[in-house]
Amino acid sequence: MNKRNRVFAWTLAFSALGGVSQSAFAEGNISIAQQFGIGYLILDVVRDQQLIEKEGQKEGLDIKVEWRTISGATGMNEALLSGALDVASAGVPRYSPYGIAPKVSKM
């Protein structure tokens, strides 16, 4: 096996080990932050319909969610590092060209 194949095999093995996940349960207070903008609309729906609290009740957990809106990723990173936030949604939302691009017709 040449060096290139060995490097590929080790990279594949380590990435497979890093992808193992476990279920996480949280009870009590959860602090979630998002940025301004329509790209975070899904989080507004989750907040308004209290979906996290409802899913917690289905599992027998009492969860209280504190929602915050922070204007920049730097502030969110600092809050995460200090332990003031549990979950942060930051960055540029994914762009989808479907339905938002103006239609241009040739004359």
pTM of structure: 0.59
Tell me the chain's radius of gyration from C-alpha atoms.
20
Domain boundaries, the chain: 28-93
Which residue is listed with tokens 């932050």? Answer: 33
Q: What CATH number was assigned to the domain covering residues 28-93? A: 3.40.190.10
> How far, in Å, CA of 13 to CA of 19, rounded?
10
In this prediction, residue 64 carries a pLDDT of 92
Residues in Cβ contact with 93 at an 8 Å cutoff, skipping those fewer than 6 apart = 37, 38, 39, 40
> How far, in Å, CA of 57 to CA of 38, rounded?
29
Is pLDDT at 102 greater than 70 in this prediction? no
pLDDT digits (tens, 9 = 90+) for 48-80: 999 999 988 998 889 899 999 888 888 888 888
